[in-house]
Amino acid sequence: MSNIEQTLSIIKPDAVERNLIENIKSIFTSNNLNIKETKKIHLTKEEAAEFYSVHQSKPFYDNLCSYLSSGPIVVMILEGENAVLSNRKLMGATDPKNAEKNTIRKLYGISIDKNSVHGSDSVDNAKKEINFFFKN
């Protein structure tokens, strides 16, 4: 049975800064994730804090919000078969050191905070995150 989903992907400032946008997009499209929407934006720290509010009790929250708002990012809606899990597999583990070979974070991540991409972790969160960036 087919299970077409949508998920939210973000190319984080470290990857935008290193001109990796097209490399990362081509990993998605060559793995059957279609890019339905894409835009480049620069969040304020307040917007980053709202986006990552689920992490507000974590010790890394303040750094995370400063970092996500430190430069332009690219936000995308990806669509395809099992898109949420498929994107998480292509991303690799949160810490690039632990990410599997050929994953985006293994290829391009610098450190646990500068790990190049964000991806929704469930269908429910994907809906919320897509709505955060693409509500009209």
Q: Which does 97 bind (CB under 5 to 8 A by kind): ligand UDP, Mg ion, none?
A: none
What is the smallest separation between the CB atom of 121 and Mg ion, expressed in angstroms?
5
Q: What is the spatial distance between Cα 64 and Cα 70, in angstroms, rounded to a whole number? A: 10
Contact call for residue 113 and ligand UDP (CB under 6 A): yes
Residue 118: which residues within 8 A CB-CB, separation 6 or more? 8, 9, 10, 12
Instruction: Please tell me the distance from the alpha carbon of residue 28 to that of residue 26, in angstroms, as a whole number.
Output: 5
Binding to ligand UDP, residues 62-91 (CB under 6 A) = 64
Helix (H), strand (E) at residue 50? helix 45-51
- Is the Cα dihedral 71, 97, 55, 7 positive or negative? positive
64 binds, among ligand UDP, Mg ion, none (CB under 5 to 8 A by kind): ligand UDP
Contact 60, 113 (CB under 8 A): yes
Closer by beta carbon to ligand UDP, 2 or else 110: 110
Active-site residue identified among 25, 105, 114, 118: 118
- Considering beta carbons, is residue 64 or 77 the nearer one to ligand UDP? 64
Binding positions for ligand UDP, rule: CB under 6 A: 55, 60, 64, 94, 112-113, 115, 118, 121
